[in-house]
Amino acid sequence: MMEGMTSVTYRVCVVCMGNICRSPMAEMVLRKVLADHGLAARVAVESAGTGGWHIGGPMDERALRILAEHGYDGSEHNARQFTADWFDRYDLVLAMDRDNQAFLRRLAPAGVEVRLFRSFDPDAPAGAEVPDPYYGGDEGFEEVLTLVETAAEGVAEHIADELDR
């Protein structure tokens, strides 16, 4: 490797239920925030769902539109399903809500921590979730974007601290 070049040394996966709304929105936001913190070359961010209904499909059109309106590009997203063998791939697995967190914890090997995405928002109450906007209108997707943008700063700070160890 050439001097001064960096390579990915930390991997994150954000997980919701179907991987078409919350987790890909958080993936896109977190990528931008990490880039803003100068960490893009060292950190890989991906997303997945606990369910397999949407595997290979695009992001929900409402999520895609809200992201685009705020300067994020989610057009390349393809939904994936998180499986137990993926825990070896990631340094940090973040669930969007407690149900998905519980599911992931049942899959996880002993000693692997699965954190809630909003646990990195210092102003969020303990156990705060990112609500599923799927069955509502645009306002739910706007709320998700606001919540993940706020928590993403804390996630980036956590990762920066981990990389400095």
Is 22 considered catalytic here? yes
Among positive and negative, which fits the CA dihedral 140, 74, 47, 26? negative
8 A C-beta contact, residue 102 and residue 116: no
Angle, CA of 41, 16 and 137, to the nearest 5°: 110
**Which member of 60, 97, 121, 132 is catalytic?**
132
Catalytic one of 16, 60, 62, 118: 16
Which of 122, 130, 123 lies closest to 146 in space, CA to CA?
Answer: 130
Give the C-alpha separation, 106 to 59, whole Å. Answer: 26
Q: Of 22, 31, 80, 118, which is the active-site residue? A: 22
Whole-number Å distance between alpha carbons of 19 and 59: 7
132 given a catalytic annotation: yes
Q: Is 80 known to be catalytic?
A: no
How far apart, in whole angstroms, are the C-alpha atoms of residue 119 and residue 154?
A: 9
Residues annotated as catalytic are 16, 22, 132
